[in-house]
């Protein structure tokens, strides 16, 4: 009997939107039969910046007990889902810092042939969601990883309209994660686990 796919959902979230999507991806991964680790990356923002936003303070406290990702979590995984809010059309510094710590694994060839995919949020529509995911995937090309996006492979993807990964417009907290985003996350997680399982079986 084959061993389950090992899936790491590694994310950064300041006020909670990305964490909410990460939880959906976690649950969908478990439903698809994977062994899943839900992980955050280290916060780099100064305390003054966090305290300037009550939602940031509240979320920081809410995820205090969530395990922090390490390079070994990526080494362990067959598939990795990276999540980030957009930062000027790019990956957040917090997630990028984590990715930059993977150089040792990269040099040892331990990032190769894993499945990778991404998810994102922004405050407004057309605020760099696709650019952020494409920037994230540039790193995956350097890893020698297998980028598995949801594409337009399911009718639900024509509703949310983003073939690059799950995305959400949160309207500065005014738009909670909705059923469209939750369904998109389920589609993405199922596809990632399915492709990772096929690659693992063929190895």
Instruction: Quote the pTM value.
Output: 0.97
* pLDDT given at position 2: 78
- Give the residue-averaged pLDDT of 63-87: 98
Instruction: Tell whether the model's pLDDT for residue 12 goes beyond 70.
Output: yes
Instruction: Tell whether the model's pLDDT for residue 32 goes beyond 70.
Output: yes
Residues 6+ apart with CB under 8 A from 44: 93, 94, 97
- Of all residues in the chain, what percent carry a pLDDT higher than 70? 100
Instruction: Tell whether the model's pLDDT for residue 1 goes beyond 70.
Output: no
Tokens (6 digits) for 67: 């395990």
- Give the residue-averaged pLDDT of 20-37: 98
Torsion 79-35-23-110 (CA) sign: negative
Instruction: Tell whether the model's pLDDT for residue 23 goes beyond 70.
Output: yes
- Of all residues in the chain, what percent carry a pLDDT higher than 90? 95
Domains (range + CATH), the chain: 6-202 (3.40.50.360)
Query: Average pLDDT, whole number, for the chain?
Result: 96
Instruction: Tell whether the model's pLDDT for residue 3 goes beyond 60.
Output: yes
* pLDDT given at position 172: 86
Q: How far is 29 from 47, CA to CA, in rounded Å?
A: 34
Instruction: Tell whether the model's pLDDT for residue 74 goes beyond 80.
Output: yes
Token look-up 């407004």 returns 124
The helix/strand/coil state of 161 is coil
* pLDDT given at position 133: 97
Instruction: Tell whether the model's pLDDT for residue 173 goes beyond 90.
Output: no
- 73 near 10, Cβ under 8 Å? yes
Q: How far is 37 from 168, CA to CA, in rounded Å?
A: 22
* pLDDT given at position 126: 84
The tens digit of pLDDT for each residue in 137-170 reads 999 999 999 999 999 999 999 999 999 999 999 9
- Give the residue-averaged pLDDT of 87-106: 97
Residues 6+ apart with CB under 8 A from 80: 7, 8, 9, 10, 74, 114, 115, 116, 117
């Amino acid at each position: 009997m084959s061993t389950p796919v090992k899936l790491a959902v590694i994310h950064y979230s300041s006020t909670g939107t990305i964490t909410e999507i990460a939880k959906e991806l976690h649950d969908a991964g478990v439903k698809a039969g994977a062994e899943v680790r839900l992980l955050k990356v280290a916060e780099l923002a100064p305390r003054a910046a966090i305290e300037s936003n009550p939602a940031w303070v509240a979320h920081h406290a809410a995820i205090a007990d969530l395990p922090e990702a390490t390079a070994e979590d990526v080494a362990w995984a067959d598939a990795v889902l990276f999540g980030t809010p957009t930062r000027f059309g790019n990956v957040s510094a917090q997630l990028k810092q984590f990715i930059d710590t993977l150089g040792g694994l990269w040099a040892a060839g331990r990032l190769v042939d894993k499945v990778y995919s991404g998810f994102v949020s922004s405050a407004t529509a057309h605020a760099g969601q696709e650019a952020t995911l494409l920037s994230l995937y540039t790193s995956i090309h350097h890893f020698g990883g297998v980028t598995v996006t949801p594409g337009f492979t399911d009718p639900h993807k024509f509703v949310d309209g983003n073939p690059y990964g799950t995305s959400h417009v949160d309207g500065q907290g005014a738009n909670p994660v909705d059923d469209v985003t939750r369904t998109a996350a389920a589609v993405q997680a199922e596809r990632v686990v399915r492709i990772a399982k096929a690659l693992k079986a063929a190895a």
